[in-house]
Structure 1
Amino acid sequence: MTARLIRLVIMSLILPLAALSGCGSDERAEQSAGFAGLGQDAEGFQQAAPNQALTFPDDFPHEHAAHPDYRIEWWYLTANLEDVSGEPLGLQWTLFRQALMPPSERPEPTPWAADQLWMAHMAISQGEQHQVAERFGRSHSQAELSQSHDAQAGVVASPFHAWLDDWQLQASADADDDAFSPLTLTAYSGEGASRFGYTLELTAEGPLVFHGEEGFSQKAANGQGSMYYSQPFWQIEGDVTLNGETKAVSGRGWLDREWSSQLLDARQSGWDWFSLHLDDGHKLMAFQLRGGGDDSADTEQGAAYRSGTWITPQGDASPLATDDITLTPLATSTVAGRDVPTRWRLEIASVAIDLNIEAPHANRWMDTSVPYWEGEVRVNDRASGEPMGEGYLEMTGY
């Protein structure tokens, strides 16, 4: 295969997947509708809407699987862990899917007629170390092919299995066919002394949580949105390999499931997303999309649309309206040549909390084909400075 053909094949995988996560270049943003093309027209694809509200348990485990008639989708795990010496450690594993064409335009399945593209990211962060890897794959949406474990990438619901090559998140061998817990996550990259990765056991100690209106999460004032639920109650144990050393780790994790065809408004330039584990057992998800809101929520980059979910220790979820959330960047860090907010104030009026959220390490840039910032954060009460928890922050479009 010539060098030109190799380049064309690689770019055919990378460029469509730019719509799945992270920020692309300014030039790419100008050529697409909204941030990373997520606001572009999605005619012919199935649309996320409030009238498609998820129900439990009727829609499960089906919803854990892929939704190829929607344009974009992800399975997104972050975890705040400690090693045996008590040193904090963060990790991420994400599987992204994008449909290349609407269902009516799909070709007959052949080895070269894939209509679904896949991208996977993994990262391990400890102290100033931040190791990142990514992979790409493809599949066909036809059920007998997409649900075959011989496919390069895919997700099936029963028994649950999400994979790209040998990176995989799957139900334990002795689990019931419909089980979404416990799960085993395995992903490694590199060879010899540079090899890094993890083998982890995930056990859910609380229920699944639906965001927004029974699972429909609005992302802009004009109604764009996604189907969105989470498992924020993972307890995690296992082994992490970093710098040639394997160590036991334990802690807690958060898994997001989201799918849509036109996620954002065309005006939206990126997002700031928080998933927080509070020490009293509450969980908090909050985000802002920069642009696409109304004039009551201004940021330096235009009106923001905000939303979130307040989750009790028992898993009861209360949606948070855009005017209930105030997000204020307090300090920035220069990371990969970009000024990125790494210290925030987060106020939730309805539950009377006022938090400072800070990334202890700024160098969490995901230098992948689609770059973005993703890292661990500490949570403190703003008035007293008392530690209140930990979590993860993702920022795109900077």
Structure 2
Amino acid sequence: MSKALSLFVAASMTMATCGMALAADAKSIKIATQSPLSGDQSVVGVDIKRGAELALEQLGKPLADMGFKVELAPFDDQANPDTGVANAKRIVSDPAILAVVGHYNSGVQIPSSEVYHTSGLANVSPANTNPKVTTRGYLEVNRIVGRDDVQGVVGADFALGLGAKSVFVIHDKTAYGQGIAEFFKKRAEEKGLKVLGFEGTEEKANFDALLSPILAGSPDLVYFGGMYSQAAVLFKQARERGYAGTFLSDDGFDSSDATKIAGQTLIDGGGTYYSTVSGPAAVYPGTAKFIADFKAKFNSDPQPFAAQGYDSMAIVLKAIENAAKAGGNATPTREAVAKAIRELKDFPGITGTFTFNNIGDPIVAKYFVIKVNSADPAKWSENSIVETLDIAPPQQ
């Protein structure tokens, strides 16, 4: 063989090899998750990621059969907006990532999704409830849960149903906590419930400054808008200082770690309730297998929003499949995936059947009010559901 011919053959083989590598790369897809994987909210954030991981493991076969390799790319947003945005910039810079499942905190999701939006990257949220998540009208952003402008109303109406005449409202100054507290307060005042105070705090350890006006006013009910890691400490200290009324919070309170923090003080006095857009996984008819599989894989019961993490991933996988088929089994663009998510109709998840409206809200969402029954964290999933509602989102 001549030297020239040898060089030609070698070059041809190199080009062919490179072409094969490019083709293989073109069939590689990543789906990111963003949730708190460290810190005091990680007990929920880790299980959102685990739910998504289990869905990918169980539901990824159709894409595998089409020749795609789909990988999970988990990111720890630390329940911190700055971290979430920094992660979002890393996520959109990776062309293999076609969608994001996340976040847990609305205050993290809202700025992070501005980054997704400018890059055309789809985001399906398993947990974010602030109205602004969807009212911006971004094609890329959808959620599978309800909204705080409904959840706050549900909480206030429940407080009235308990017979409360007065309430002290506290929030954590986040987009989520302050937002839902404001919706609660507005509804409470409309219905004649006397609001003795409305205060925001970033305190996490010593609530003496807040407890003084609460104890002086002796409200029938104390409402906290925010996360369990703050609320449980506040409730515990209030009870220890002699408050005997009722505590009410929101879906941010829905974690077994609340009882690790506050224990029996959540049961004493008028007890503790919380509204939520999630509820225990067992409340949904389609989750029995999910719960068993989750426990087998991770050796623990799923925390709230784990099942929603599963469904969010399932929606993303189906949308990628649909977009790929529409494109002749080629790797779909981010725009095609975002459009395919919004176009899904009556998608059968384990926590419900999902169709998104024109701004990315589910056309009907579930809301629950739940009572804390036990100081034992292992029995958190056995808390009593005292109210269940199916409500459409407010019209835009």
Does the alignment reach a TM-score above 0.5? no
TM-score category (smaller protein)? under 0.3
TM-score, structure 1 as length reference: 0.26
Give the structure with higher Rg (CA).
Answer: 2
- Under a length normalisation based on structure 2, what TM-score does the superposition of the two structures give? 0.26
Query: Which structure has more RCO (C-alpha within 8 Å, separation ≥ 6)?
Result: 2
Looking at secondary structure, tell me which structure has more strand per residue: 1
